[in-house]
């Protein structure tokens, strides 16, 4: 008789503190729910974590949890802080992409107590993970670390540019109401828009990066988009996410043993 599939969720945050911390909290919650969890940091973030956290104690608290790390595309002496943090957004991701794929394949070679990955939860601005998940037929959930309202605004950045709302030109009334985002008409003011809307040019690489990454998010596995329901509590949303991941794991039963 087949043993029940133990979901093994692989987490891929964007390598910055404000992205890593909330995703790590989610990984701990899913580990407590009985899932296996592999959390993939950048080498830089993992090095800092090991100097500030008792990793052994964390593994004792979460015995089905493990860290792995991959390059972030920047040289080791790069500060990755302050104004230079934006360089992480447009750094060469080829090495990161290759190492992430290789790590997934390696995790798929079942050995010891770890099951092959059955689901990926990737930051919404790490869209290369969607390409790899599609190639390896692993369900993927995109995860944004801010509110649903803010995420919806990111989906309409192109519309904001077309309507001339972004980028801000000259002396802008920051209390001017934004009317071109469906469902948020009359709710948002210029000052409420994400900080990237204050870039000087519409073709700014950072602004275009967020447009491109957000546009890729709907390619994530369809079941994941139902995990957060309007008006639902945080607890009920978490339970829905847990059930969705279990269903993905049962449906997929992913095997990477033949992938090179």
Burial of 6 (0-12, 13-18, 19+ CB in 10 A): middle
Question: What 3-state class would DSSP assign to 46?
Answer: helix
Continuous segment of H or E residues that includes residue 108: none
* Closest of 13, 17, 62, 27 to residue 245, by C-alpha: 27
Q: Are 205 and 91 in contact (CB under 8 A)?
A: no
- Rounded distance between C-alpha atoms, residue 124 and residue 140, angstroms: 11
Q: Is 19 a catalytic residue?
A: yes
Task: Round to whole Å and give the CA distance between 149 and 189.
Answer: 13
User: Are 38 and 117 spatial neighbours (Cβ–Cβ below 8 Å)?
Assistant: yes
DSSP assignment of 170-222 equals SS--TTPBP--STT-TTT-BGGGS-GGGG-S-TT-HHHHHHHHHHHHGGGS-G
| Measured distance CA(7)–CA(118) in Å, rounded | 6
Cβ neighbours of 85 (radius 10 Å): 15
Task: Look up 123 and say whether it is catalytic.
Answer: yes
Task: Give the active site residue among 8, 44, 72, 123.
Answer: 123
What's the maximum distance between 2 C-alpha atoms anywhere in the chain? 70
**Active-site residue, from 8, 19, 44, 156:** 19
Q: Which residues are catalytic?
A: 19, 123
């Amino acid at each position: 008789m087949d043993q029940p599939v133990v979901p093994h969720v692989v987490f891929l945050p964007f390598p910055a503190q404000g992205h890593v911390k909330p995703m790590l909290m989610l990984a701990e919650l899913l580990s407590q729910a009985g899932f296996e969890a592999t959390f993939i940091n950048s080498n830089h973030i993992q090095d800092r974590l090991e100097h500030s956290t008792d990793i052994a104690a964390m593994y004792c608290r979460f015995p089905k949890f493990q860290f792995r790390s991959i390059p972030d595309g920047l040289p080791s002496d790069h500060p990755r802080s302050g104004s230079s943090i934006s360089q992480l957004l447009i750094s060469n991701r080829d090495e990161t992409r290759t190492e992430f794929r290789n790590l997934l394949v390696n995790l798929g070679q079942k050995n010891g107590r770890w099951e092959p990955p059955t689901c990926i939860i990737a930051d919404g601005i790490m869209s290369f993970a969607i390409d790899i998940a599609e190639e390896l037929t692993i369900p993927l959930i995109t995860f944004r670390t801010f509110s649903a309202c803010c995420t919806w605004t990111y989906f309409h950045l192109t519309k904001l540019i077309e309507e001339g709302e972004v980028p801000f030109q000259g002396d802008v009334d920051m209390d001017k109401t934004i009317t071109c985002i469906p469902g948020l008409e009359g709710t948002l003011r210029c000052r409420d828009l994400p900080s990237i809307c204050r870039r000087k040019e519409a073709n700014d690489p950072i602004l275009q990066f967020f447009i491109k990454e957000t546009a890729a998010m709907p390619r994530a596995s369809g079941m994941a988009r139902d995990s957060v329901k309007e008006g639902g509590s945080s607890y009920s949303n978490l339970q829905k996410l847990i059930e969705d991941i279990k269903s993905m794991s049962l449906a997929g039963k992913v095997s990477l043993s033949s992938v090179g």
